[in-house]
Amino acid sequence: LQVICVFFFSSRRRHTRFLPVSWARRCVQETGINAEYMGIQQQQMTNKIYSDVFSYKTQKLQIAATLAGLDYEIVYLKMEDFKKPEFLAKNPNGKIPVLETPQGILLESNAILRYIARTALNTGLYGVNSYENSCVDQWLDWVSNELDPVLFSIVIPILGYTKPDTNAYLDARNNYYRIFTILENHLRQHTYMVGHQLTIADISVAVILVFAFRLCFGEKDRQRFPSIVRHTLTVASQQSFQKFCGRLIICKKEFSPFSELPIEHNDKQKEAKNPKQYQQQQPKKESKKEENS
Amino acid sequence: MCIRDRLYAQLSGIRPHKILIAANYAGIQVEHTVTKVNQAKKPEYLARNPNGKLPFIDTPNGPVYESNAILRYIARNSTSNNLYGVDNYENTLVDQWLDWCSFELEPALNDIMYPILGYVEYNQEKTTKGWENLKKALQILDDHLKYNTFVVGHQVTIADIGIVTPLFHAFRPVSYTHLTLPTIYSVQISVVAVSLKKK
């Protein structure tokens, strides 16, 4: 100890060793201009999400951002704004959601989800270790590549956006069972999709299954896939989920697609309950459509 | 040194090539077990990828499927390169371009390529729409590459590998000379040349 002390005290740099405060002050003085610049930058430091009024992809981002504690502002755009050059300068693909960070612009909802999760790694939103990160990636890709198209091939005919086609609908239904059994088997052995905490994979699955629960996941299916029900209910009971997606609406019996022409989005539930009444109202609605467009 | 990761994939194709090129860049040795697509539904393989699809990889911690997830796994475990970008923002840009590739570029390419390869019947409407979508997508990529040497950052990342491999496979049988996109060709050639050298 004595030898080390002598060596330490005998060096020439005494003026810098014991005065950390003056060193810090000198740094601030030297970088005075930088400090002003940083001040300006801090004022513009909010993250902005550009989105449509209702989009499940933006809901995903909002839930993840609240869980991660990331501040953001949301800017709602109308359908016409997507083709304007100001928006195309941000996203040349003309799609939402778009996240504008102080560093630049980010597209693709799954990429933005990962960005949000990485800003708060300690919350475990992206998994706890490198292998869990890969599993979260895997499930996020699976949702976009497998679950999303299959589920929407059933939901879209029910909502009446496409021409009714019974064969296509039956094919879609078979695919839908196959995908849901995969998810069910996984959730039977795991409480959450990845690891032992809520991750962005759980959020993305639950936000899409809201459509299923509302429209095509009837009581029989729910008895057949109990783990999916359990998982979705646990995620849907989170405060942040309810703030952006609302209460989970569960249908008693699944809706079936219509054998008539496509209808407006607003009337989908009225149509489902009272098809005869809607048929009578249809000529009036068509004239309203013409007025609106 | 024992090889710790085992990749189960086809002999050749866009997805196995993506992963092998990335592993080459990363300096990770991956053992490629050639499996045929119809063998992927065997129960031992279904235990690892319940979707019954290829490729999937067996790592010391467990299996991972979905080719882009495997790419990210490789990028994370590479010690020498910044295959995934330098910071969180660049990581997200890499993710963004990989997702863009699978949702904007690859569907358009598939609409054009699948009838040629014989996987799907020829449908004129789909093919013409495919050409339109491909033109839009490649225009976006071209505009981006005018101001950036690489897709993300200042070095090769898995985003470059993920975008160049399907284009490389698609450019061989079909001529795209009527689409004037000079920037893409130069980047593509440079990336592919580097990857082939490394092999």
Q: What is the pLDDT of residues A94-133, one digit of tens each?
A: 888 899 998 889 999 999 999 999 998 888 899 898 899 9
Q: What is the pLDDT of residues A261-286, one digit of tens each?
A: 554 444 555 555 555 544 444 444 44
* DSSP H stretches of helix in B66-123: 67-77, 88-100, 106-117
* Cβ atoms < 10 Å from Cβ of A113: 30
* Cβ atoms < 10 Å from Cβ of A212: 24
B66 with A141: Cβ contact below 8 A: yes
A141 with B62: Cβ contact below 8 A: no
Give the closest residue to B69 by CA, choosing from A134, A173, A100: A134
* Ranges of chain B with pLDDT below 50: 1, 177-183, 196-199
The pLDDT of residue A274: 53
Contact B149, B141 (CB under 8 A): no
Q: What is the CA radius of gyration of chain A?
A: 27
Please list the residues that pair with A101 across neighbouring strands. Answer: A104
Task: Assign A94 to helix, strand or coil.
Answer: coil
The nearest CA of chain B is from the CA of A102 a distance in Å of 10
A134 vs A160, residue with greater confidence: A134
Task: Please report the ipTM that was assigned to this predicted complex.
Answer: 0.86
**What's the DSSP call for residue A261?**
-
Q: Give me the torsion for CA of A226, A232, A238, A241, rounded to 10°.
A: -160
Mark A62-73 as b/e (b = at least 16 C-beta within 10 Å): bbbbbbbebebe
Chain A residue with minimum CA distance to B63: A135
Q: Is the pTM of this model over 0.80?
A: no
| Cα–Cα distance measured from residue B102 to residue B105, given in angstroms and rounded to the nearest whole number | 6
| Cα–Cα distance measured from residue A132 to residue A156, given in angstroms and rounded to the nearest whole number | 33
Spell out which residues of chain A touch residue B98, defining contact as CB-CB under 8 Å: 111
Spell out which residues of chain B touch residue A194, defining contact as CB-CB under 8 Å: none
Q: Which of A114, A131, A140 sits opposite B92 (nearest CB)?
A: A114
A138 with B69: Cβ contact below 8 A: yes
